[in-house]
Amino acid sequence: MALETLFSPYIIGKVTIPNRIVSTGHDTVMAHHGQVTDRLIAYHEARAKGGVGLIIVQVAGVHETARYTSHMLMADDDSCIEGYRALAAKIHAQGTKVFGQLFHPGREIMETDDGTAPVAYAPSAVPNSRFAVMPVPLELPMIAEIIEGYAASALRLKQSGLDGCEIVASHGYLPAQFLNPLVNRRTDQYGGSLQNRMRFIEEIATAVRARVGDDFVVGLRISGEERDVEAIDKNEVIAVCEALDQKNAYDYYHVIAGTSASLSGAIHIVPPLYYETGYVAPFAAKVKAVVKAPVMVTGRINQPQIAEQILSEGRADFCGMTRALIADPEMPHKARMHRLDDIRACIACNQACIGHFHKGYPISCIQYPETGRETSLAARKTPTKHKKKIMIAGGGPAGMKAAAVLAERGHHVILCEASSQLGGQALLAQMLPGRAEFGGIVTNLAREMELAGVEVRRSTPVTRAIVEQENPDAVIIATGATARRPEFEGSESAHCVTAWQALKGEANIGGRVVIAEWKGDWIGMGLAEKLAREGRKVTLATEMPMAGQALPFYVRDEMVARLHRAGVEIVPYARLYGTDSETVYFHHASSGEAMVIEGVETLVLSQGHESVNTLKDELKDLGVPVHIIGDALTPRTAEEAVLDGLKLATGDFYS
């Protein structure tokens, strides 16, 4: 597929962007005390080196009341200039342009730096449902102060050498709160009519432009469809963009979906794999039809072919491809060289990107843990000085990643997989409803091994005899895990099967099913949906306080919604105790009191995993160095498995 539009330059304001691929603003948790850090610079520099046309740096607060997390950037005083200047220099050195986001969350504040409840300010005293924040109504002097904050912050970005700024009016943040009549109940010049509700966004544009001039880009990011019961009317969003464009208020419009104000709306801030790729593009096209300024669109655009189609059809002028660049910083260069099969496509699992952010950790990628670790692990991927012959037992994510990196560094790597297919548990994950895309981790890692020159032997379990025959310098055990089947009263006599058996069709599942779930991960939830869709009455009994507690928020909330639609009953705090022919017994995990579910035909166990690593004992006295990674070491997730592979492959033993 020709990618001519994607790699054609385009002018925004007076700035020429070399191509249409954008790394959009996203919090990295790499700022420190509100300042740009070396780690943040290295993260963005890697994407600039990979050929992205435009980088929009994460949100920076414009006023002291804008601190919505304890680890965000701030642009409210001159101390930010030095860090931004260093960042801009590194990005510009690669030919990439860079904008910064200017931000005030209004009532959408997640946390404070000391754990106390925040004081939030908004147009009116209307609480949000997601963070349960009751805001203080803004008075006119503070509105003026915040608008001045936008202008002063924009000037600091210009003084730092950035090419532009983006005003964040998306996701239910302060400018969007002024637009929404359900949130803005003011009776002064900032409330009531659409013209009055637009006033805040207009005054920001006027103030910023007066401060930075015409040679600095000023754009607006806005949610077209908030997807919430208290959403801004989408037709009003189009009218706002049209009215602003007629006044030449902004140099571009960046269309996205969702709102931070509710669980249902927040899912669309970083939509998981359950949503179609490019699903925001139809609304972007409606905005593009009424404005002269360029239009960006963001929302599940994970492949250059998808971006090219959106652009060539005229639905937008730029495509935000942030997670695609998190998964593969070199995606633009690979696409330009028509190496499409070499691109490590994002699978929208959300685990290490937004999932890390929500936990307060620097973002990364489960497929490419080098992301976010550019100054540490990624820097250690240097050619080896001592070539070794390495045998890897197990072709799951851990073994595949170790193999790819070791071979890339110059080692002779033989990877043996006992089954006929590579992938390990990822092959099971992709069988669940809506999760077929997760199997991309297997395709991507297999391609990395192929490019690195790994010798792969399928249907070849590693034994002591094979190790003696090959005489490697080291053996890496990555043989994974198996489904855990704990002992409990009645487990031998009742119709009781593991989640793996149920998923692979190795058991006859009755019409009334209870899934006893231990970890709060995707397995029990995904299997519950699958069985319910097949017509069974399903109860998901989880030992955790909520279903999906271990999952990234947006994945969990979307999966809970899917289970609700499918009629699955969810019982929290349920710790499995025993079962008989038709009854399953639980303890309440907190009170210890009995919980009984009757009329059960099949009990499905989703009780975690047990490591498979017997090979270590077989090789104990051979004198060959043995390393154990992934679930073979201890059962965790694909993220830890791949990270284990990278850590081992870049460690001192293999240098």
Please list the active-site residues: 173
- Residue whose token pair is 């009990």: 603
- Long-range CB contacts (within 8 A, 24+) of 379-383: 380/650, 380/651, 380/655, 381/405, 381/408, 381/409, 381/650, 382/409, 382/655, 383/409, 383/410
Q: At 86, give phi and psi (nearest 5°).
A: -65, -40
As a whole number of angstroms, the distance between CA 414 and CA 466 comes to: 11
Could you give the C-alpha distances from 15 to 89, 216, 592, in angstroms and in order? Answer: 16, 8, 65
Closest to 319 (Cα-Cα) out of 1, 21, 13: 21
CA end-to-end span of the chain, whole Å?
A: 40
For residue 29, the one-letter residue type is: V
b/e code 542-580 from CB counts within 10 Å (16+ = b): bbbeebbeebbbbbbbbbbebbeeeebebbbbbbbbebe
As a whole number of angstroms, the distance between CA 302 and CA 300 comes to: 6
Reading the block at residue 335, the tokens are: 């696409």
Closest to 142 (Cα-Cα) out of 190, 187, 100, 181: 190
3-state secondary structure of 160: coil
The two beta strands, 481-483 and 609-611, are: antiparallel
Reading the block at residue 395, the tokens are: 């072709």
| Region for 260 from its dihedrals, namely left if φ exceeds 0, alpha if ψ lies in -120 to 50, beta otherwise | alpha
DSSP letters for 43-68 = HHHHHHHTT-SEEEEEEEESSGGG--
The two beta strands, 10-12 and 15-17, are: antiparallel
DSSP annotation of 35: B
